[in-house]
Structure 1
Amino acid sequence: MVKQYYSTSLSLLLLLIASSLLFVVSLAEEDMKGAPNNSTEEEISILPQRHASITNDLGQDILLRIHCKSKNDDLGSHDLSFHSTFHWDFKTNALTKNTLFYCYVWWGKVESSFNAYDAARDDDNCTDCKWSIRTDGAYWYNSESNKWDRLYQWTKP
């Protein structure tokens, strides 16, 4: 009887510890999305570091406007001249793999959006996610093939 009590108590304690750990990691992920570069590794070492960048490759004299955000972080609107780049660092949750950053882009009469980082797609193959915005779509740099792959195609206005 006493042995069964201790076994049940130990099981409940382990369950409580595991649940608490998941909760703490979840809170840390929510706090660290879009974390500024001055965060220390000790503060966030449990969460994988990611970097994303978007470059205006539309052509000379074409201003690209972008607005990127996640569920918790609004990175604001940015105007990019030809060959200018907007970039940010962020942390992802290694357990839930649900981080998503999406960006609205527009220039001239073209308006569209794309997922700049989607953990379901990018978690295993993209720690430095590079995007090139071109007149026919959004191109993602595939580091394995060393080529730019068009993942999004713009609709004609």
Structure 2
Amino acid sequence: MGKHLLCLFFILLSFDSINSYLMPPLFRKFNVEIVNQLEFHKILRVHCKSKSHDFPITYLNIGESFQFKFTIFPKTLYWCNLWQGPNYKHYVVFAAFRPDKDFIDGTCTGMHPNVCRWTAKEEGVYVRNKKFEGEYFMYTWDAPSKTGKIPPVNAPSSESELDSSI
């Protein structure tokens, strides 16, 4: 009986290794962090959400950060809207987290330390990436609208809509 349990243990261990190599680490904890490194004392307005969770709008002074934790499920998708103060005319909308291995390991820093850190700077939004041993430029600020109004924070109806908007 002990040999069978030992064999089952090694089979499950090898399956977990294959699974973690080929697939995203489902049902594990992950973090997204947004950091304000804008210049000239600009406040960063942050609104992140998923289809099932809508975080309140947060205002970050220079050097402050907003972080949220969640469990990775097969359809987990978080996107964030950032606006540059003081007039909040410049903004960007981007996918802050996708549940695929390429995004977790390629865009973010992988499961160790299991955080995707996005930094808002004057030029745009950067992501901390271990492949580049530092921050990697990802998104530029959108030009201000003619009306000067803050664009609405609507959830994209699909991932493809989110991809086409950024």
Bucket of the pairwise TM-score, normalised by the shorter protein: 0.5 to 0.7
How far apart are 1:145 and its partner, in Å? 2.8
Specify the structure having the higher radius of gyration (Cα).
Answer: 1
1:1-157 aligned within 5 A = 47-93=27-73, 96=74, 98-107=75-84, 108=87, 109-120=89-100, 121-124=102-105, 125-126=109-110, 127-157=114-144
Structure 1: where are the runs of 5+ without partners? 1-45
Q: Distance in 2 between matches of 1:151 and 1:119?
A: 18
Letter in 1 for 2:143: K
* Equivalent residue, structure 2, for 1:13: none
Letter in 1 for 2:134: K
Displaced runs of 4+ in structure 1, greater than 6 A? none
Segment drifting more, 117-126 vs 50-59: 117-126
How far apart are 1:137 and its partner, in Å? 1.4
**Alpha carbons 2:92, 2:140 under 8 Å: kept:** no
Give the TM-score normalised by the residue count of structure 2.
0.60
**Alpha carbons 2:124, 2:140 under 8 Å: kept:** yes
Letter in 1 for 2:77: L
Query: Percent identical across equivalent pairs?
Result: 28
CA deviation map 1:119-156 (0-9, x unaligned): 23423453211110112211000023321111112222
How far apart are 1:104 and its partner, in Å? 0.9
SS of equivalent to 1:122: helix
The count of corresponding residues between Structure 1 and Structure 2 is: 109
SS of equivalent to 1:138: strand
| Higher share in strand | 1
